[in-house]
């Protein structure tokens, strides 16, 4: 059993990561960090750079039960995270939440909503401060 | 000095609000397509061909020229910030430019590229003003046999000198020539390669071929490689240069211009070779040799100036001889034909207003490029975040619309798809696109000149060799074809033992 966190290199992702780390410690579980991209643009600011991943690894190295950072590529962000959740048989998924306008949701959909509804395990939603 | 007063007249004609608007639009579009890898000025001009049908030729060419220069400039942004050259001419810029950006000097790299492009473009355009009329004066006297030889030289040079594989080059060339044959014979009206289809007998419109190969082919290629790991972009602010950067940049700009212009002006153009040479030269001449490979500003300034100077240089053969040497110039030639303007040595005499306004607007466009791009660099960097599906659905929409509007003929959409598949295939098999499009557009012109020369000599082949200039050009063609393989063979033999030794050493 593991804790999975959906990570983005911004304030929402950082908030989710901080919560996931303390949750992994509390539960004594391994932590799997997923950074997903659609990979259909040349540059994706939601995709962590090599340097960002190195910093992430350093931050996670203190976890006793071990950790793993995965960068995935696929047509659907939610599906990529759910695939990892199923694969590692996660006991908890941690994601960052943010305010979205109604129009924004109609146009772009909502990855968080998909995850909340479709994830087989409990989901912990974290708001950035 | 006659040229200068004519240029002044052109400047006055170009300085109308409408013309300035088109110049700004062209520069903006050009930078847009230049920044995005895979989409180049050739595609942009091809997509705009149907749109410009309703415009004045002068305005259309002002816009095209802006796109051409803008594309050359835009490529540098992607090279520097992403290490992914937007155009083949920006490959050398990426080497030092991206290193500079990673060292936190992205602003200086972008600035030296922009100002270098401006300097080179301006000097280059002024050179065109002086060289093109002189060349045209000589060229007007050239007869059909020599003119045919010249076109053959351009085609052979582009096919065999540029690009890594001669075989692939010739496959592209002959595919293009074949496409150019479809339809009624221009001299006798006999249908050729039309498969009994009256729609094909009416000749294939260049727009359909160009849009199919550049736009649809690229869209299919991107669709086949849609997802890839995103690249890390170097954050950038406002480009600027310090005093030290200026003093290190101005000489490379001038040297790059001097190297780039002649390469553009001879009918073996292409901007890759001069950028490469300029890079090597700067590395040799610099006082900061240790910085090369770690972000030397000279390595950005030189090649960027060289590629814009060569872009300017390509206007010499295009305007003076009607010979295009780059894909974009080829499409521009097709555009001239679309307006019923006969490209060739007579162009400067027949259409002086068009030529001089075009040259003047090149100067204006170049200035606009600098004014627009220095403050807009962060915006162009954001453009790279556009998801490809949005971008290419837009391109496909304009491609289909463009192909349909030329003749309002649904059959053209079928042809568009066919050429799109061909465009995909040439990308898949690494066949260069320039010989192909050159074959499509220059092929029929070459045929007309060939037939003209043969008609004069009653079909005797000697009619092709009865001018000294023609014979001289044929000798050059023979040398171009024979010398490189021979040299390669000689060098290859000399190299082998050394290479074997090296391999043995690396083994042990």
pLDDT digits (tens, 9 = 90+) for B396-408: 999 999 899 888 8
Neighbours of B503 (CB within 10 A): 10
Cβ atoms of residues B111 and B241 within 8 Å: yes
Please determine, for residue B503, whether its predicted confidence score (pLDDT) is greater than 50: no
Tens-place pLDDT, residues B327-368: 888 999 999 888 888 878 888 888 888 888 888 888 998 999
Query: Can you give the pLDDT at residue B498?
Result: 44
Contacts of A45 in chain B (CB under 8 A): 385
Query: Can you give the pLDDT at residue B504?
Result: 42
Cβ atoms of residues A42 and B230 within 8 Å: yes
Lowest mean pLDDT among A101-115, B307-321, B430-444, B457-471: A101-115
Greater pLDDT, B508 or B29 = B29
User: How high does pLDDT run on average in chain B?
Assistant: 86
Query: Can you give the pLDDT at residue B1?
Result: 59
Contacts of B82 in chain A (CB under 8 A): 42-43
Q: Inform me whether the C-beta atom of residue B84 falls under 8 Å from chain A C-beta atoms.
A: yes
Predicted ipTM of the assembly? 0.81
HSE-CB at B414 with a 13 A cutoff on CA atoms is: 5
Instruction: Give the C-alpha distances (Å, rounded to integers) separating B479 from B162, B362, B431, B450, B473.
Output: 15, 35, 24, 22, 10
Residue with tokens 């759910």: A82
Range B460-469 average pLDDT? 86
Please determine, for residue B500, whether its predicted confidence score (pLDDT) is greater than 50: no
Q: Inform me whether the C-beta atom of residue B408 falls under 8 Å from chain A C-beta atoms.
A: no
Instruction: Give the C-alpha distances (Å, rounded to integers) separating B363 from B124, B131, B369.
Output: 10, 16, 10
Query: Can you give the pLDDT at residue B493?
Result: 53
- Distance CA(B271)–CA(B326), nearest Å, equals 9
> Quick one: what percent of chain B has pLDDT higher than 90?
27
Q: Inform me whether the C-beta atom of residue B37 falls under 8 Å from chain A C-beta atoms.
A: yes
Q: Inform me whether the C-beta atom of residue B384 falls under 8 Å from chain A C-beta atoms.
A: yes
The structure tokens listed for B255 are 């040297």
List all residues 6 or more positions away from B51 whose beta carbon is below 8 Å from its beta carbon.
B402
Query: Can you give the pLDDT at residue B86?
Result: 64
Contacts of A75 in chain B (CB under 8 A): 227
Range B135-159 average pLDDT? 86
pTM of the model: 0.85
Please determine, for residue B237, whether its predicted confidence score (pLDDT) is greater than 80: no
The structure tokens listed for A30 are 């391994």
Cβ distance of B230 and A42 shorter than 8 Å: yes
Domains by residue range for chain A, with CATH: 2-127 (3.40.50.620)
**B42 to chain A nearest CA, in Å?**
21
Greater pLDDT, B122 or B134 = B122
Contacts of A74 in chain B (CB under 8 A): 227
pLDDT confidence band for B162 (50 / 70 / 90):
low
- Distance CA(B262)–CA(B267), nearest Å, equals 10
Range B480-493 average pLDDT? 79
Please determine, for residue B501, whether its predicted confidence score (pLDDT) is greater than 60: no
Chain B, residues 222-251, CB within 8 A of chain A, namely: 226-233
Please determine, for residue B497, whether its predicted confidence score (pLDDT) is greater than 50: no
Please determine, for residue B427, whether its predicted confidence score (pLDDT) is greater than 50: yes
HSE-CB at A109 with a 13 A cutoff on CA atoms is: 6
Cβ distance of A39 and B37 shorter than 8 Å: no
Tens-place pLDDT, residues B74-100: 888 888 888 887 667 788 888 889 989
- Distance CA(B254)–CA(B504), nearest Å, equals 45
The partner residue sitting opposite B386, judged by closest CB among A41, A47, A71, is A41
> Quick one: what percent of chain B has pLDDT higher than 70?
95
Tens-place pLDDT, residues B290-332: 888 888 899 999 999 998 898 899 888 888 888 888 888 899 9
Range B415-425 average pLDDT? 96
Greater pLDDT, B175 or B241 = B175
Strand residue runs (E) in B15-62: none
Q: What is the DSSP letter of B458?
A: T
- Distance CA(B148)–CA(B446), nearest Å, equals 6
- Distance CA(B217)–CA(B397), nearest Å, equals 14
Range B275-300 average pLDDT? 87
Query: Can you give the pLDDT at residue B67?
Result: 92
- Interface mutation target, options A37, A43, A51, chain B, most CBs of B under 10 Å: A43
Please determine, for residue B494, whether its predicted confidence score (pLDDT) is greater than 70: no
């Amino acid at each position: 059993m593991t804790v999975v966190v959906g990570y983005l290199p911004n304030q929402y992702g950082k908030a989710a990561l901080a919560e996931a780390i303390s949750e992994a410690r509390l539960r004594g579980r391994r932590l799997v960090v997923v950074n997903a991209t659609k990979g259909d643009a040349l540059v994706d600011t939601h995709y962590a750079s090599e340097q960002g991943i190195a910093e992430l690894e350093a931050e996670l190295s203190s976890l006793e039960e071990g950790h793993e950072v995965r960068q995935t590529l696929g047509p659907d962000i939610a599906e990529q995270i759910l695939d990892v959740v199923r694969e590692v048989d996660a006991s908890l998924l941690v994601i960052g939440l943010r305010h979205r306008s109604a129009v924004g949701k109609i146009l772009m959909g909502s990855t968080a909503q998909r995850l909340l509804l479709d994830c087989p395990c409990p989901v912990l939603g974290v708001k950035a401060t | 000095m006659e040229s200068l007063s004519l240029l002044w007249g052109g400047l006055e004609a170009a300085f109308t609000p409408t013309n300035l608007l088109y110049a700004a639009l062209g520069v903006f579009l050009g930078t847009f397509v230049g920044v995005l890898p895979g989409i180049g000025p050739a595609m942009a001009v091809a997509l705009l061909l149907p749109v410009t049908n309703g415009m004045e030729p002068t305005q259309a060419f002002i816009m095209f020229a802006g796109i051409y220069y803008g594309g050359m400039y835009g490529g540098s942004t992607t090279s520097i910030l992403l290490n992914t050259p937007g155009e083949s001419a920006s490959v050398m810029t990426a080497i030092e430019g991206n290193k500079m950006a990673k060292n936190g000097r992205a602003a200086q790299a972008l600035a030296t590229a922009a100002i270098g492009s401006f300097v080179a473009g301006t000097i280059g355009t002024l050179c065109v003003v002086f060289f093109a009329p002189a060349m045209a004066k000589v060229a007007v006297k050239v007869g059909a046999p020599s003119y045919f030889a010249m076109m053959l030289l351009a085609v052979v040079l582009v096919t065999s000198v540029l690009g890594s594989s001669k075989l692939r080059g010739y496959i592209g060339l002959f595919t293009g020539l074949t496409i150019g044959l479809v339809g009624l014979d221009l001299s006798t009206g006999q249908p050729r390669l039309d498969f009994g289809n009256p729609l094909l007998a009416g000749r294939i419109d260049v727009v359909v071929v160009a849009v199919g190969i550049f736009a649809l082919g690229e869209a299919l290629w991107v669709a086949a490689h849609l997802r890839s790991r995103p690249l890390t972009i170097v954050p950038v602010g406002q480009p600027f240069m310090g005093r030290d950067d200026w003093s290190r940049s101005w000489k490379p700009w001038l040297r790059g211009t001097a190297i780039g212009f002649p390469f553009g002006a001879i009918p073996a153009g292409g901007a890759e070779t001069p950028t490469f040479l300029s890079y090597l030269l700067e590395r040799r001449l610099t006082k900061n040799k240790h910085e090369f490979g770690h972000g030397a500003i000279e390595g950005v300034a030189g090649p960027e100036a060289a590629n814009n100077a060569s872009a300017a240089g390509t206007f010499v053969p295009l305007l003076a001889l009607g010979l295009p040497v780059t894909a974009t110039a080829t499409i521009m030639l097709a555009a001239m034909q679309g307006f019923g303007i006969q490209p060739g040595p007579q162009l400067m005499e027949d259409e002086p207003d068009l030529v001089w306004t075009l040259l003047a607007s090149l100067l204006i466009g170049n200035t606009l490029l600098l004014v627009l791009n220095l403050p807009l660099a962060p915006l162009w960097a954001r453009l790279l975040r556009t998801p490809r599906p949005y971008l290419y659905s837009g391109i496909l929409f304009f491609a289909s619309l463009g192909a349909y509007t030329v003749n309002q003929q649904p059959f053209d959409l079928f042809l568009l798809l066919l050429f799109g598949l061909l465009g995909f295939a040439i990308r898949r098999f690494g066949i260069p696109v320039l010989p192909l499009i050159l074959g499509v557009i220059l092929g029929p012109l070459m045929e007309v000149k060939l037939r003209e020369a043969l008609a004069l000599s009653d079909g005797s082949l000697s009619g092709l060799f009865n001018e000294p200039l023609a014979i001289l050009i044929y000798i050059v063609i023979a040398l171009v074809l024979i010398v490189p393989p021979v040299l390669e063979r000689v060098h290859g033999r000399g190299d082998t033992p050394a290479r074997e030794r090296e391999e043995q050493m690396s083994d042990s």
